[in-house]
Chain A
Amino acid sequence: MAQAISVRAVSVNGIQIEMMERGEGRPLLFLHPGIGIEPDAPVLHRLAARSRLIAPTHPGFGGSQAPKSFDSIDDLAYFYLDLIHALDLADIALVGVSLGGWIAAEMAIKSTAQISHLVLANAVGIKVGSREHRDVADIFAMTETEFLDLAYFDPGVGKRDYKAMPEAQVRNAARNREATARYAWSPFMHDPKLKGRLHRIRIPTLLLWGTHDRVLSEAYGQAYCAAIPGARFERIERAGHFPHLEQPDEFAEKLFAFMARK
């Protein structure tokens, strides 16, 4: 594992959250999936090597506060647009994985004034299938082992030994599970309005897709891509729902290559 990036507290609208920041250059706002992001995740170093990485912990997740009224991904999207304003960021690469991708998409339909590129990796958030087809596997109706099998190319990457972990980290994992339900229990993992609003996104957009994802189908990712004008779709092999964890090098390479395109 790489060296952990130090975590600091920032306060926006009176809400105190944790945030990691490292590197120089264009700002890259990384929005983590429902399982959170560990400060020693190698992908953070790959991203910080070529940008000014800003990786907050969403309100309600990990060690970040959330007001009682926060109960939708919309709340998080407005919160992060306010964070961008508070940090006076511009020309941002906005990157989100899974639930973080959903937040990023909800931000981008509202305003891309300070955002130059959007990258959604194995993002949830839209409804594609029929009413009797669930697009997103019901992660709350399965055991952790079952979840790891669906979510990873190599389930060992996601496995955690909670008995050996520091207590605060276990507590953060418990908070992550609760916060995911708080924002995404019903409608499950999507906003019924989002798909019809994705056409508003007029900035360069990349869909990155871990091909071994069985929480979502690749057809779901293709539908997401098709709803955003001009969006590109690129696969990452030997990765599942969390390509940033299973293939951090390729994840970073594809992302920066996309940003360098004219």
Chain B
Amino acid sequence: MKFYQFTEQPYPDAWADHGGSLRVNLPNRKCDPRIAADLYHRYFDEWMLADELGFDIMLNEHHQTATCMSSTVIVGLSVLARQTSRARLLVLGYPIGHRPDPLRVAEELSTIDVLSRGRLDMGFIKGVPYEFAASNQNPVGVMDRFWEAHDFIIKAMTSHDGPFNWESEHFHYRQVNIWPRPWQQPHPPVWSTTGSKSNARVLGERGYVMATLGTGYDTRSLYDVYREGYVSKGRPAPTADRFGYLGLVAVASNEREARARGEQIASYPRTSSIVHAPFRNPPGFFSVEDNAKLMRGQTPPRSYTKDRRVIDMRTASVQELIDAAILFCGTPDQVYTQIADFCEYCGGMGNLLMMGHAGAMTHAETVDNLTLFAKEVMPRLKDYRQPVAATATAA
């Protein structure tokens, strides 16, 4: 099992007075660049500690938001490619459906792969609904643009005999020949995230690593659709390393402290969707059928606990988040058991994308959280034998 330390690189000082929207339209005068600089350096220090402790590293990007100061993930990857020596560097993700220029993406990611001597994992994502207001890319048809950008980037990374031509629906180039070419062959591993079964099947067919977020005890059905897609291409059942899961982690030497830390980590799901309502549902992002349901006042259930209670991660208590496997929280023993239980339920889940810092957690608290996990939980999970679920058997 692998463990990727992740933080959204938040700017929590602006969270108290957001006027109903932490994203898109929160004025940036609420950002003090001096505080931002201190935070960036601190977050990089914590990732360097994570590297020493045996974690891998995950970065992401969002735009125009106090929930995540990483507005260009290439900057963070560049710093860490040079300053760390061991950890794999996962970008999850790079919102390629929003990028006007996928050639630039191929060049950036190849450079990071070479600079890090082959430590890049490249996650391509559609992006959350609020990103369209910032990028001004059309939300209608974003997945078509996403897949064309994906195809182009892979082609650019795997073409080594001089320029090729690309004239398609969304992108036009005539002399494509990127330098440097990537370190890893034929290209860095591809990851993606999804919450939809149709997309999970496509990711399975392609054999990419599929990660989910907030799916808790509803994850298995997505994994099973992935498994169907994976074996449909004549492969044996996918092993646990094809699956990733974003889990919030709060571990402490006693339960009381762990719960207090859990409250701090829970500030992520509690703030993440605070945004002016229209930006949550740009046209074309959700299907016509889903939008018709929303218009009729029907909202789909969000997350499930192990005993099938529906919870809303935006408002859930720490206990509910634990019950839904969105948060792994407690003493090292408890956290080990919660994660191992969840892996059993999933039929194998080999990449824990661990949010070990969120919100206003201090540096000392974050260091303590990461260190305790690395020393007391990680070794046991490394010894843990992942199941390999055959195909679509009901959980």
Is chain B found bound to chain A in the same assembly? yes
A5 to B138, CA, bound (A): 34
Stretch at the interface among B73-81, B117-125, B252-260, B284-292: B284-292
A9 to B117, CA, bound (A): 60
- Say yes or no: is A88 at the interface (Cβ < 8 Å to chain B): no
Given contacts A163-B296, A170-B296, A186-B136, whether A143 and B141 have CB atoms under 8 Å apart is no
7 A-B residue pairings within 8 Å (CB atoms): A163-B296, A167-B296, A170-B296, A174-B288, A185-B136, A185-B139, A185-B140
A182 to B144, CA, bound (A): 13
- Say yes or no: is A250 at the interface (Cβ < 8 Å to chain B): no
Interface of A is mostly: helix
Find A71's partner among B141, B292, B297 (CB 8 Å cutoff): B141
Stretch at the interface among B233-241, B274-282, B364-372: B274-282
- Say yes or no: is A32 at the interface (Cβ < 8 Å to chain B): no
Interface 1/0 per residue, B102-146 and A, CB below 8 Å: 000000000000000000000000000000010011111100100
Interface 1/0 per residue, A53-97 and B, CB below 8 Å: 000000000000000110100000000000000000000000000
**Which residues of B have CB within 8 Å of A214?**
none
A170 to B294, CA, bound (A): 10
CB proximity of B345 to chain A, nearest CB, Å? 35
- Say yes or no: is A181 at the interface (Cβ < 8 Å to chain B): yes
- Say yes or no: is B283 at the interface (Cβ < 8 Å to chain A): yes
CB proximity of B132 to chain A, nearest CB, Å? 8
List 7 additional contacts besides A170-B292, A182-B138, A182-B141; criterion CB under 8 Å. A69-B169, A140-B278, A141-B278, A142-B278, A171-B292, A174-B288, A178-B140
A68 to B296, CA, bound (A): 28
Interface 1/0 per residue, A125-145 and B, CB below 8 Å: 000000000000000111100
Given contacts A143-B278, A163-B297, whether A182 and B289 have CB atoms under 8 Å apart is no
- Say yes or no: is A175 at the interface (Cβ < 8 Å to chain B): yes
- Say yes or no: is B295 at the interface (Cβ < 8 Å to chain A): yes
A142 to B297, CA, bound (A): 18
A171 to B295, CA, bound (A): 9
**Which residues of A have CB within 8 Å of B141?**
68, 71, 182
- Say yes or no: is A118 at the interface (Cβ < 8 Å to chain B): no
A254 to B394, CA, bound (A): 66
Q: Restricting to A194-236, which residues have a CB under 8 Å from any CB of B?
A: none
A213 to B289, CA, bound (A): 31
Whether B295 and A174, one on each chain, are in contact in the complex, defined by CB atoms closer than 8 angstroms, is yes
Whether A141 and B279, one on each chain, are in contact in the complex, defined by CB atoms closer than 8 angstroms, is yes
Find B284's partner among A143, A170, A181, A186 (CB 8 Å cutoff): A181
Of chain B, the residue at the smallest CB distance from A142 is B278
Whether A185 and B288, one on each chain, are in contact in the complex, defined by CB atoms closer than 8 angstroms, is no
Given contacts A181-B284, A186-B136, whether A174 and B292 have CB atoms under 8 Å apart is yes
Of chain A, the residue at the smallest CB distance from B291 is A174
Whether B144 and A68, one on each chain, are in contact in the complex, defined by CB atoms closer than 8 angstroms, is yes
